[in-house]
Structure 1
Amino acid sequence: MMNGIPETGFVRLSQVLNVIPIGKTCWWEGVKSGRFPKPIKLTERCTAWRAEDIHELIKALSEQSATRH
């Protein structure tokens, strides 16, 4: 389990925001703009993200910050 995110499966927004330290509003704006992965509706009231998509995002964000320094 890397960064508290399982290798496969689904993660809820609270788990994502524990690893990617931004606010909910900023996260949803990123989803809307396509910067962050789209969620999957598991049930009417349960939204989650594919763990694999979050790992890809973490990798991309870390590569971006590495090139800035």
Structure 2
Amino acid sequence: MMFEKTYTVTGMTCQHCVASVTEEVGEVDGVRAVNVDLDTGAVTVSSDAEVADEAVRSAVEEAGYTLAA
């Protein structure tokens, strides 16, 4: 079973931002795919099991951006 959850990330302005967020969130345990929509800030995370929101938040912050509340 595949889980999918979409988050909103603020502060991304270019493809480098997209690459940074994709790389950091992609390193979270269990994450299989990360799809970032630069225009809307939507970050869709696909995983084998539920991923803790806090783990995603930490990864986004590590990349230098903010997860919207």
Shared topology, TM-score over 0.5? no
Answer with 1 or 2: which has the greater Rg.
Answer: 1
User: Hey, which of these two has a bigger chunk of strand by percent?
Assistant: 2
Q: Normalising by structure 2, report the TM-score.
A: 0.30
User: Hey, which of these two has a bigger chunk of helix by percent?
Assistant: 1
The structure whose RCO (Cα within 8 Å, separation 6+) is larger is 2
